[in-house]
Amino acid sequence: AVLLLDVGPLGPDYLPAHGHADTLGFEMSLHGQRVIVDSGVSRYDDCPARLFERGTKAHNTVAVDGQDSSEVWGSFRVARRARPFGLEIAEEKGTIRVECRHDGYRRLPGKVTHCRSWNLGKNSLRIEDRLEGKFDSARHGLLLSPTVAEASKGNIGSQSEIRRGEWTLPDGTSVVWELEPGQGRYEEAEYHPEFGVSQKSVRLVGDFRKDRNIFEMNWS
C-alpha cells in the first residue's frame, strides 16, 4: 500500500495561485493500482466547475458547515487558509501512524479544529477524523479511481445509505470497508487525471453523526 498525505501548507503565502482547499486529504494505491485518487483539475477559467474542483468537497478530506477549509475564490485566489500543525509520525509493530491537525475552520463561529489520523497496517487502513469545536454539519468524502468504480459496479450504487461495502480492484483484490458511526452513500463524481480531461467515477461520502468518524479498509 502507498499513501500520499497532504499535511503541509497550502503553499507560499505570497503565491496564492493554484492553491486548493485540500488540507489533510490523501491518495492511496494498493498493489500498484490506484484506489483513492485526488480529483485534479480540468480547467482554469473562472466558473462554478473550477471553484468546485478547488474546494474541499472535491477532495478526500472533511468539509465543515458546507465551507472550504481554505477560502478559494476566482480562478487562482486564496484568502484565509488552513494551517496544518501538530504533525506526528510513529511506527510500531508493523503499523505506521500519522496524525495532523489544521485550523482552517477556526474562522467559523464554532472555531472547529480538524484532526485526522491514518493507521496503516500490513492489510488494513484506519482513518479517524475528530472535530474539536461546534458545528451544525460535517461531511467526509473519498473519490474512487474510475478503474475501481468500473470493476465494482455490482457493489456501488445499489443502496442509498450503507455502512459497509466492498470494492474490487482490477487485479481481483477485494477491499472491504466500514464506517463507524453513521452511514455513507455513493455520488456521481469526476476524476481529472490531466488538465482538460474528465473521467466519470464515484465518490463515497458520509455525514458526521457526532464529532468523530472512523473509516476502515481491509484487504487480503
Strands 138-143 and 184-191: unpaired
**Tally of residues, the chain:** 220
For the chain, how are helix, strand and coil distributed in percent, rounded to 5? Answer: 10, 45, 45
Tell me which residue of 22, 195, 16, 30 sits closest to 124, measured CA to CA: 30
Prediction pTM value: 0.94
pLDDT in tens, the chain (220 residues): 999 999 999 888 887 788 999 999 999 999 999 999 999 999 999 999 999 999 999 999 999 999 999 999 989 989 999 999 999 999 998 899 999 999 999 999 999 999 999 999 999 999 999 999 999 999 999 999 999 988 877 667 655 788 999 999 999 999 999 999 888 999 999 999 999 999 999 999 999 989 999 999 999 8
DSSP-assigned states of every residue in 101-150: EE-GGGGSTT--EEEEEEEE-SSEEEEEEEEES--S-EEEEEEBPHHHHH
Tell me which residue of 2, 62, 7 sits closest to 36, measured CA to CA: 2
